Structure 1
């Protein structure tokens, strides 16, 4: 943080460190790369130097280098040497412990009386303090919630003391981008190369953390792959909340099929009310179709953390910004 203040720098994180230090600086831009918002991308493109601390600078973090077109790279890591995601080496590679390297760099800049305003201006703070919203219009579909609204409600209603595990599939893009509250977050993206693993990951996390309440946000197809494991959570009385973002289909396949000119309806799979299924398995549950119903169901879990499934019926009409970028080439 001292180095950031001295150099007028922005603070960005990789996907796995989402929201880290957000509460300690006004100049936090969120995730660097594909899951970053439009403001973050515009600001990061102006950077003349990127100091990467323990980050691999992979294809997604740097947008293959296009996110930082004019920047020099300083990479700090304990490995003997690393190659960045664009196949090139950093301009300066420092093999060191992160804290040791950053302290030494900050002390040297202090010795030289270096202090730069950089991005630490009122205008940048104004842009970063604006509500984080998707520029696309919100969808009003009877009996279904816009997934962006659902994530906003989750972030508002669940205290920061309740940890978060993000699942996989198209629906995860919304949570990856829009959760803003400082809390412990585990992103399941790419960990297993298969959907459906996040609920079990959450069960293991709760046990390892001594029963700390946690919630997982997962898709309907993903959740159904390991539905019996919810009974395990019930048997042990774990404070697990499974939020199923239910578009009644294979969301990723639905949207990718549409982008490729194939029939997306082949990926539509109706599901039963999963809230009722959860009750049958010995837990609590609800199927919600409005934000008011969602708030009420979340309040129940906050009041009494126990094995719970909230089946959130979401619209399939909303395409996430990462999908719009990757599959349609949109500049969003």
Structure 2
């Protein structure tokens, strides 16, 4: 192969996925009737939109059904913040990563309509989040078992757009229009979610919640985001609020450090559009060589390292169990300088202003960049406060 002559090859490459036609699956009419029976009898409907719904471009149909049924709209982790700028009744994530005001409302649901969402145990908290709800599930898969070990009360194997359109049509034919959650009281309850916390002040270290707030507000909304793993990812998972394309590495491969690789591949697949990944320090150091690959091929990947100089998950779990948390601490070099030595851009930041300045430089000139954000260990994420200490937050 190496010594063979290559003839001129002018044909444009076409991926196999472009050659395969995907017909829209039409829902079973009997299933539509059964689903409408459940919805018609409901008082509080929740629609959970997943990655499949987003890929099917079913946003308009979801919003129309939400208006018709007075539903709250929630998303899975892989569809985080989708459509949040299109409705006042968006509660964010469904599951442990949701905030308390939203979870209080979701627990009142008596009907859940899942669109392109597997309803795994994270999304429905193994069933505890929706204790009284009947489930209508729309998916192209032949069959899905939910995270509570049960099947949906009504399962529609169908394309999201066609199934939602048929549901809306049948509900209109029955003159069904529910007020549900669409009240001023619910809107005021949701407003409590937006309160900004009082940040922890520690010399030379940022509160991770403040760092996420700055990232979310100062990086353009069209920039895609890949979330890493470990304790630090809880902050980004819960606190990023803009409606941007989000991919979560949570739980993939059962190991830390994968997110920068995923982000690098995603950016190349998308034609080298700027994008960013938020990852922990130990995770990033595991795959430092891949950043050099981004430099070599000039992929404009921004790596934001939430650096608590430790294995954050192990540190906080050990502390909660009365073990020695210092065994989970590690020292790290100035990762911004390391990135520069590899030929990219880099900065190590310890204040909010330094972080803003570093982000502004990347936005002006997108190129392979590492921003080493030194964060405090004094802030525990909400999921860890719930799981490790049993706090009602």
Instruction: State the TM-score, normalized to the length of structure 1.
Output: 0.97
Give the alignment partner of residue 172 of structure 1, picking from 233, 239, 242. 233
Give the alignment partner of residue 197 of structure 1, picking from 242, 250, 258. 258
**Match of 1:36?**
98
Structure 2 runs not aligned, ≥5 long: 1-62
* Secondary structure in structure 2 of the residue aligned to 1:317: coil
Distance in 1, matches of 2:139 and 2:243, equals 26
Q: Is the 8 A contact 2:264 2:301 kept in 1?
A: yes
* Secondary structure in structure 2 of the residue aligned to 1:254: helix
Q: Is the 8 A contact 1:132 1:178 kept in 2?
A: no
- Does 2:77 correspond to 1:15? yes
**Match of 1:147?**
208
Deviation per residue, 1:13-56 (Å, 9 max, x gap): 11111011111111111110011111110110111100111212
Distance in 2, matches of 1:141 and 1:187, equals 29
**Match of 2:310?**
249
**Match of 1:317?**
378
* Shift, 1:132, TM fit: 3.1
Distance in 2, matches of 1:198 and 1:111, equals 47
Alignment of 1:112-261 (within 5 A): 112-130=174-192, 132-133=194-195, 137-261=198-322
**Match of 1:55?**
117
* Shift, 1:182, TM fit: 1.2
Distance in 1, matches of 2:140 and 2:291, equals 40
- Does 2:364 correspond to 1:303? yes
Distance in 2, matches of 1:156 and 1:77, equals 34
Q: Which has the larger radius of gyration?
A: 2
* Secondary structure in structure 1 of the residue aligned to 2:372: strand
Give the alignment partner of residue 156 of structure 2, picking from 90, 94, 103. 94
Q: Across the two proteins, how many residue pairs are aligned to each other?
A: 331
- Does 2:136 correspond to 1:74? yes
Distance in 2, matches of 1:166 and 1:299, equals 21
| Superposed structure 1 runs of 4+ greater than 4 Å apart | none
Give the alignment partner of residue 325 of structure 2, picking from 244, 256, 264. 264
* Shift, 1:79, TM fit: 2.3
Distance in 2, matches of 1:308 and 1:54, equals 35
Decide which moves more: 118-127 or 35-44: 118-127
* Shift, 1:113, TM fit: 1.1
* Secondary structure in structure 1 of the residue aligned to 2:213: helix
* Secondary structure in structure 2 of the residue aligned to 1:23: coil
Deviation per residue, 1:2-23 (Å, 9 max, x gap): 1100000011011111011111
* Secondary structure in structure 2 of the residue aligned to 1:93: strand
Q: Is the 8 A contact 1:274 1:286 kept in 2?
A: yes
Distance in 2, matches of 1:156 and 1:221, equals 26
Decide which moves more: 76-85 or 107-116: 76-85
Distance in 1, matches of 2:346 and 2:289, equals 15
Deviation per residue, 1:136-165 (Å, 9 max, x gap): x53111110000000000001001121111
* Shift, 1:131, TM fit: 5.3
Instruction: State the TM-score, normalized to the length of structure 2.
Output: 0.82
* Shift, 1:262, TM fit: 1.1
Deviation per residue, 1:239-274 (Å, 9 max, x gap): 111000000000011011112221100001011111
Deviation per residue, 1:63-108 (Å, 9 max, x gap): 1111112211111222222221111222222222222211111111
Q: Is the 8 A contact 2:101 2:193 kept in 1?
A: no
Cα RMSD (Å) of the superposition? 1.3
Give the alignment partner of residue 3 of structure 1, picking from 55, 65, 70. 65
* Shift, 1:133, TM fit: 4.9
Decide which moves more: 114-123 or 301-310: 114-123
Structure 1 runs not aligned, ≥5 long: none
